Amino acid sequence: MSIDNAVRRVRDLIGERLSTSPSVLDLHGQNESYYAPTPPDAVATPHSTEEVAAIVKICGEEDCPIVAWGTGTSLEGHALAFNGGICLDLMEMNKVLEVHPEDMDAVVQPGVTRERLNEELRATGLFFPVDPGANASLGGMAATRASGTTAVRYGTMRENVLALEVVLADGRIIRTGSRARKSSSGYDLTKLMIGSEGTLGIITELTLRLQGQPESITAAVCAFPTLDAAVTTVIETIQSGVPMARIEILDPVSIRAVNISGDMTLPEKPHLFIEFHGSQAGAKEQAETFGEIAAGNGCEGFEWSANQEERNRLWHARHNFYYASLKLQPGCRALSTDVCVPISRLAEALLETAEEVREAGLTAPIIGHVGDGNFHVGFLIDPERPETLETAKRLTHSMNRRALRLGGTVTGEHGVGFGKKPYMTEEHGEGYAVMAEIKRALDPKNILNPGKVVDIN
């Protein structure tokens, strides 16, 4: 029983699609955070569910860790092979298998990215709404319970996955859920797998709920004198019942990054980016209500646009924000952290964080899907100045503790991976032990992404 045996046996199974070439290993040892590269022992690229099952079975027999890999954009060291073993790269299982316009659902393999899916859907008048900032794989998005700018209207991966095919730790293949819109038929295995970060099973197929493209879309950008005024506008808008499709907050540092990346010239002030979906009349009505609330909070330089090109430029800049922010300090890396609190505590969570960042003197854009009470800080780390990493870690710790104190969670959407594990006991108490019991029941040998989310040894 050994990793070496497993690698040999998997090579026998899939030939050249098992690679140990240093460049391939390096590529699968990278991450978008500050963790040191951690290459796996080998990278396997399966082409079918049956291959995934056979590989997982071998790894079980050989006690070899197996770490699923989508686009590798997760931010808490999720997909790093800290214990070595085989990285299972699912990006060649990338077919859109079925689209059912009449049921507004689609069946896809895990290596399809969200942008690819939406390209394929364009002609149908439907779209898949969940949009993390990276063009991630749908398998990875389900595995991290991802969300994005539209969660406030359409929900997260939790609400938008109807069914899954999953390979379990012993190689069994199960189907969870069906194409029916709802069901009370037994335990919710679909939701158990969503957000399990490759620690309970490998997702080999997803049935996704689609949305109809709205008849009309209106977007706006508006600047506020203070962060407080922007947050108050968000809270009042939610309470007014206006169904926003997107509402993002950006602090002045974020605006600087967006200006760079999107070639825009927004004033370096706190901003909201908003979007409304609906019928012509509906979207206009929503926009007007919002306009009144924003004006009441001192909004300056309000700009509406129903023009698609302008809107695309806006959201493109928002989605590219992370990579743009790295340009604020060439050569730096980022530690991006993510918390979520009840809406009523958002002002407190966000303003105290901003104040701490200011005091510490770090460059750290604050940006958030604030309609859900969710926001991120992207601490820029200078590899030449190790103290910047230490300060960022200290502030991250403080943000996490604050989120818990305010009745929230240490991660709204990025997930636990390795980085948020230290907060799990404080967040879940005895519930964290229950997670370990479930992990133990489904993966007693701890071969699936060991060391992430929860430990069982």
Ligand X SMILES: Cc1cc2nc3c(=O)[nH]c(=O)nc-3n(C[C@H](O)[C@H](O)[C@H](O)COP(=O)(O)OP(=O)(O)OC[C@H]3O[C@@H](n4cnc5c(N)ncnc54)[C@H](O)[C@@H]3O)c2cc1C
Contacts of 422 (CB under 8 A, 6+ apart): none
Write the interaction track for a second copy spanning residues 300-339; mark x where CB under 8 A is met and - where it is not.
----------------------------------------
When binding is defined by CB under 6 A, the residue of 19, 38, 45, 71 that contacts ligand X is 71
Q: Is 268 helix (H, G, I), strand (E, B) or coil?
A: coil
Told to check if 356 binds ligand X by CB under 6 A, we report no
Q: What is the dihedral angle through the alpha carbons of 86, 88, 89, 92, rounded to the nearest 10 degrees? A: 130
Q: Which of the residues 139 through 158 are near ligand X (CB under 6 A)?
A: 139-141, 143-144, 146-148
Smaller CB separation from a second copy, 145 or 269: 145
User: Rounded to an integer, what is the distance from CA 163 to the centroid of its chain?
Assistant: 19
What is the crossing angle of helices 227-239 and 280-296, to 10°? 140
- What amino acid occupies position 449? N
**Residue 90: helix, strand or coil by DSSP?**
coil
Residue 88: closest CA among 117, 59, 63: 59
| Cα 38 to Cα 289: distance, rounded to the nearest angstrom | 51
Query: Which of ligand X, a second copy, none does 137 bind, CB closer than 5 to 8 A by kind?
Result: ligand X
Q: What is the Cα–Cα distance from 261 to 279, expressed in whole angstroms?
A: 32
Applying CB under 6 A, does 38 fall inside the site for ligand X?
no
- Binding residue for a second copy, selected from 11, 17, 191, 393, defined by CB under 8 A: 191
Q: Which of 33, 82, 194 has the alpha carbon at shortest distance from 455?
A: 82
Nearer to ligand X, 52 or 238 (CB): 52
Q: Which of 15, 16, 185, 265 binds a second copy (CB under 8 A)?
A: 185
Cβ 387 to a second copy shortest distance, Å: 29
Which of 136, 272, 324, 370 is in the footprint of ligand X by CB under 6 A?
A: 136
User: Least separation, in Å, of the C-beta of 381 and a second copy?
Assistant: 23
Among ligand X, a second copy, none, what binds residue 41 when CB lies within 5 to 8 Å by partner kind?
none
Question: If binding is defined by CB under 6 A, does position 375 make contact with ligand X?
Answer: no
Binding flag, residue 194, a second copy (CB under 8 A)? yes
H or E element, residue 233: helix 227-239
Q: Within a 13 Å sphere around the CA of 299, how many CA atoms are in the beta-carbon half?
A: 22
Using alpha carbons, list the distances in angstroms from residue 10 to 52, 69, 453: 10, 17, 26
Q: Minimal distance in Å, beta carbon 82 to a second copy? A: 18
Interacting residue with ligand X among 3, 10, 25, 32 (CB under 6 A): 32
Q: What distance in Å separates the CA atoms of residue 164 and residue 250, rounded to the nearest whole number?
A: 35
Which of 9, 28, 57, 78: binder of ligand X (CB under 6 A)? 78
Query: Is residue 434 at the binding interface for a second copy, with CB under 8 A as the rule?
Result: yes
By CB under 8 A, residue 205 contacts a second copy: no
With CB under 5 to 8 Å by kind, the binding choice for 437 among a second copy, ligand X, none is a second copy
Separation between Cα atoms, residue 168 and residue 166, nearest integer Å: 6
Q: By three-state DSSP, how is residue 164 classified? A: strand
Does residue 195 bind ligand X (CB under 6 A)?
no
Asked if 241 is part of the footprint of a second copy (rule: CB under 8 A), the reply reads: yes
Q: Which residues pair with 335 in a beta bridge?
A: 379
Angle at the Cα of 452 (from 450 to 455), degrees rounded to 5? 70
Residue closer to a second copy by CB (options 167, 317) is 167
Is 67 one of the binding residues for ligand X (CB under 6 A)?
yes
Point out which residues bind ligand X (CB under 6 A): 32, 67-75, 78-79, 90, 110, 132-134, 136-137, 139-141, 143-144, 146-148, 197-198, 202-203, 322, 413-415, 449, 452
